[in-house]
A and B are shown apart, each in its own frame.
Chain A
Amino acid sequence: MNAFMNWFYRMASPPHFYRWSGTAIPWFLVPATVLAVIGLYLALVTSPTDYQMGDTVRIMYVHVPVAWLSLMCYTSMAVASAIGLIWRIKLAHAVAAAIAPAGASLTALALFTGSLWGKPTWGTYWVWDARLTSYLMLLFLFAGFALLRNAFSDVQRGDRAAAILAIVGVVNIPIIHYSVNWWNTLHQPASFSVTKGQAGIDSSMLWPLFTMLFAVTLYLVALVLMRTRNEVLIRERRKAWIKEVLVK
């Protein structure tokens, strides 16, 4: 355990992180681009139309990955915030700050694609059902996190205040997830479940879905690394090691 913690602290030291993340970014971005091209081809060309929804089912291949990953973003942001608060690791707060805008943009995309899917299938762009309402709260939580963090002139105080908001806001995640089971929503329950397997969805639709999901996941890792590096530059600009960065 001690060896692991030592490794963890070393990886989390800002200069060390700045160096390894610079090398790591292309290793996520390149496969993400390749998978996205394959995923787009599968989603838009080879995947079949749905017998009820017709071609609008293709919206699923963007809507579901961005919606899933927005929840993943929020959870990661809260975990990073907790690590930052408990162990006082500065990099953890930088990661949380880097995730917030990425998560907010995915949430906005899920709302946008969802409303464009809702119109042809439900006959409305928006409805105040439990899933859509709790999901809209997620966007406000991401925005609130960013606003609260920027409201303090002192970076550390802003980090701590925003971290508490992120941790409290985690209660919304299970509410979003189970809203389709707990309440009678217009939004359909999950077609795919880790425990029940792929019963609700055919493999010809599952493959494009998973390809897109992996593409966006890799993309997100790259984006969060890029944004975390920027956060590190802001927080460490007066430190001596920054000069080494500029020489290169």
Chain B
Amino acid sequence: MTQWADWFAMNGDGVFVWPCYIVTVLVLVGNLLIATRNRRRLLEDIRLQIPMENSR
């Protein structure tokens, strides 16, 4: 258990190291989620626009 705690603490450097890794992972994954959400919205918008154009 102390082994894990030691590893996590990184001799006091953990406060600098962990935020770097956590924020990087969050931003990189966030980029993918945003791209996926935008794609879903765009396809929905296009779907709504097609029947209107056909009825004209």
Residues of A that sit less than 8 Å from B by CB: 29, 40, 44-45, 49, 54-56, 58-59, 62-63, 66, 101-102, 105, 108-109, 112-113, 116-117, 119-120, 216, 219, 222-223, 226-227, 229-230, 233-234, 237, 242-243, 245-246
Q: Contact between A112 and B49 (Cβ–Cβ < 8 Å)?
A: no
A residues less than 8 Å from B38 (CB atoms): 230
Contact A56–B16 (Cβ < 8 Å)? yes
B5 within 8 A of A: no
Q: Enumerate 28 A-B pairs (CB-CB under 8 Å) in ascending A order.
A: A29-B32, A44-B21, A54-B10, A54-B11, A55-B10, A56-B17, A58-B13, A62-B20, A62-B24, A63-B20, A105-B27, A105-B31, A109-B24, A112-B23, A113-B20, A116-B16, A116-B20, A119-B16, A120-B16, A216-B28, A223-B35, A226-B32, A226-B39, A230-B38, A230-B39, A237-B45, A237-B49, A243-B50
Interface of B is mostly: helix
At the interface, is chain A mostly helix, strand, loop or mixed? helix
| Complex CA–CA separation, A11 to B5 (angstroms) | 52
Nearest opposing residue in chain A for B47, CB measure = A246
- Chain B's closest residue to A114 (CB) is B20
Give the A-binding residues of B (Cβ under 8 A): 7, 10-11, 13-14, 16-17, 19-21, 23-24, 27-28, 31-32, 35-36, 38-39, 42-43, 45-47, 49-50
Query: CB < 8 Å: which of A58, A230, A245 contacts B17?
Result: A58
A113 to B16, CA, bound (A): 9
Best-surrounded residue of A40, A102, A230, A243 (most CB of chain B within 10 A): A230
B24: min CB distance to chain A, Å: 5
CA distance A112 to B14 in the complex (A): 15
Check A246 against B21 for contact (C-beta < 8 Å): no
A219 near B28 (CB under 8 angstroms)?
Answer: yes
For the complex of A and B, list the 9 residue pairs with the smallest distance between their C-beta atoms, beginning with the closest.
A55-B10, A55-B13, A226-B35, A113-B20, A233-B42, A56-B13, A116-B16, A62-B24, A59-B20
Assuming A105-B28, A109-B23, what are 15 further A-B pairs, CB within 8 angstroms? A54-B13, A55-B13, A58-B10, A59-B16, A62-B24, A116-B19, A117-B16, A120-B16, A216-B28, A230-B39, A233-B39, A233-B46, A242-B46, A245-B43, A246-B50
